Amino acid sequence: MHSKPRKMVDNPHVQLNPTTQHQEQELLLQSQRFKELKAFDETKAGVKGLIDAGISKVPQIFINNNKTPHKTSPSKSPSSSAEFQIPVIDLIKVENDDGSSGGRKLIIDQVREACEEFGFFQVVNHGVPKEIIDEMIEGVRGFHEQPHDLKKEYYSRDRSRKVRYNSSFDLYESKVANWRDSMFFAMAPQPPNPKELPTPCREITFLYSSHVKKLGFTLLELLSEALGLKAKYLEEIECGKGHALISHYYPACPEPNKTMGTTEHSDPDFFTILLQDNIGGLQVLYQNQWVDVKPVEGALVINLGDLMQLISNDKFKSARHRVLAKSIGPRISIACFFNNYDESSNRIYGPIEELLSEENPPLYTETTVKGYTVYFYSKGLSTSTPPLQDFKI
């Protein structure tokens, strides 16, 4: 790059014209892409709308030309972890402190290992009743499959709205759009007025939210203890104060190899509780391999977010993950982000002092949840460097 200006002085005609031509072409492509994005956005019907309209090819805005999205391995190394499964942790004896087998101590050890190694695990016997889980999935389906006229009222990219729905939250920021529609509800600390929620999932969302919040606080205790801190540590620094439910609907895709359900990313929160149906497609990056997070009957998936990696000073990992587009569907998933995204909170988060020492100096600068989230949103998912990198000292 640096040699170009010098050459241009030598022979401006040869060098300048191709560059300008290239830039013009690039600008033309960008403006064409912007028009297509805007046209899609203005339908307010999302990816589901494209399917309802009967398309048989994936439109250009969803196609990532630089990548073959379905490769299992980002490197050339052979797939050694094809049969590998992320840990499934049984929480049935989480209250059992008497040292009996499968009790709390063992659970904390399993959580520590999973958080240090993968940043991902599944939990069973987690206390969220099966009926609530099934009804939540049906409620989300009910919202996305209701008539367009009812649904479009909720379509918005205004991040101050506690209740909204759209397709690719980073549509204009990212290089490529994703094959999914999502509904966003900010449920805590200040829930929306129930009337603001769409009727197909109004009651069940509040019910699911209260159950998942309870599980969230149990997990915060386990995570605190796994870090060697007192059980209430992470709760007291308000890692569980806020949560948002993001419900995804991934329609069946006519050309699943050309696009992605969700681009590779790590979550911008402390941790996420994810409910997925039985379709599959979620993958986690482990030792440079994409590993399937296979649906386990009745289980919930837990993954750590960037803010947990930041406050734990890299002791715990926020793993990168993605969702493949599939020829079957729709796939439904409900992510509960614990991130205290409260306009009024100015709480500063940095590496936890108790975890630092001379050998373990802080690796990250301090930030607020809002500061981190706004930065994450400004980059979008298809960014070349993970946003957490930019908070490294």
- 3-class DSSP string for 94-105: CCCCCCCCCCHH
Q: Which of residues 266-305 bind Ni ion (CB under 5 A)?
A: 267
Report how far apart the first and last C-alpha atoms of the chain are (Å, whole number): 28
Nearer to Ni ion, 135 or 267 (CB): 267
Residues with Cβ within 8 Å of 235's Cβ and at least 6 positions away in sequence, in order, are: 217, 220, 221, 224
CB atoms within 10 A of CB 22: 10
C-beta of residue 347 within 8 angstroms of C-beta of residue 371 = no
Task: Please report how close the Cβ of residue 77 comes to ligand OGA at its closest, in angstroms.
Answer: 25
Nearest to 74 by CA among 376, 320, 327, 325: 320
Is 209 a binding residue for ligand OGA by CB under 6 A? The answer is: no
> Binding string, 276-295, against ligand OGA, x = CB under 6 A?
x-----x-------------
Give just the sign of the alpha carbon dihedral 390, 87, 186, 172. positive
Burial of 13 from C-beta contacts in 10 A (0-12 / 13-18 / 19+) = exposed
Nearest to 234 by CA among 352, 333, 320, 341: 352
Task: Please report how close the Cβ of residue 320 comes to ligand OGA at its closest, in angstroms.
Answer: 10
Nearer to ligand OGA, 170 or 267 (CB): 267
Task: Please report how close the Cβ of residue 52 comes to ligand OGA at its closest, in angstroms.
Answer: 21
Q: Using CB under 6 A, which of the segments 97-105, 202-210, 252-260, 274-282 binds ligand OGA?
A: 274-282
Task: Please report how close the Cβ of residue 139 comes to ligand OGA at its closest, in angstroms.
Answer: 16
CB atoms within 10 A of CB 123: 28
Of these, 221, 264, 267, 292, which contacts ligand OGA (CB under 6 A)?
267
Of these, 104, 248, 317, 379, which contacts ligand OGA (CB under 6 A)?
248
Cβ-count burial 60-87 (b if 16+ within 10 Å, e if not): ebbbbeeeebeeebeeeeeeebeeeebe
Of these, 246, 299, 310, 324, which contacts ligand OGA (CB under 6 A)?
246
Dihedral (C-alpha) 82, 84, 85, 87: value to the nearest 10 degrees? Answer: -160
Task: Please report how close the Cβ of residue 240 comes to Ni ion at its closest, in angstroms.
Answer: 18
Q: Which of residues 331-350 bind ligand OGA (CB under 6 A)?
A: 333, 335
C-beta of residue 301 within 8 angstroms of C-beta of residue 122 = yes
Task: Please report how close the Cβ of residue 6 comes to Ni ion at its closest, in angstroms.
Answer: 45
CB atoms within 10 A of CB 58: 20
Q: What is the Cα–Cα distance from 390 to 393, expressed in whole angstroms?
A: 8
C-beta of residue 350 within 8 angstroms of C-beta of residue 310 = yes
Residue 171's binding partner out of Ni ion, ligand OGA, none, with CB under 5 to 8 Å set by partner kind: none
> Binding string, 219-258, against Ni ion, x = CB under 5 A?
----------------------------------------
Task: Please report how close the Cβ of residue 86 comes to Ni ion at its closest, in angstroms.
Answer: 14
Residue 323's binding partner out of ligand OGA, Ni ion, none, with CB under 5 to 8 Å set by partner kind: ligand OGA
Of these, 239, 323, 352, 388, which contacts ligand OGA (CB under 6 A)?
323
Q: Using CB under 5 A, which of the segments 11-19, 215-223, 262-270, 361-369 binds Ni ion?
A: 262-270
Task: Please report how close the Cβ of residue 181 comes to ligand OGA at its closest, in angstroms.
Answer: 11
Residue 333's binding partner out of ligand OGA, Ni ion, none, with CB under 5 to 8 Å set by partner kind: ligand OGA
Task: Please report how close the Cβ of residue 26 comes to Ni ion at its closest, in angstroms.
Answer: 31
Q: With CB under 6 A, what is the number of residues at the site for ligand OGA? A: 11
Task: Please report how close the Cβ of residue 201 comes to ligand OGA at its closest, in angstroms.
Answer: 16
Nearer to ligand OGA, 169 or 364 (CB): 169
Cα 301 to Cα 2, 86, 273, 382: the distances in Å are: 47, 10, 6, 23
Q: What is the Cα–Cα distance from 201 to 141, expressed in whole angstroms?
A: 9
Interface with ligand OGA by CB under 6 A: which residues?
246, 248, 262, 267, 274, 276, 282, 321, 323, 333, 335
Interface with Ni ion by CB under 5 A: which residues?
267
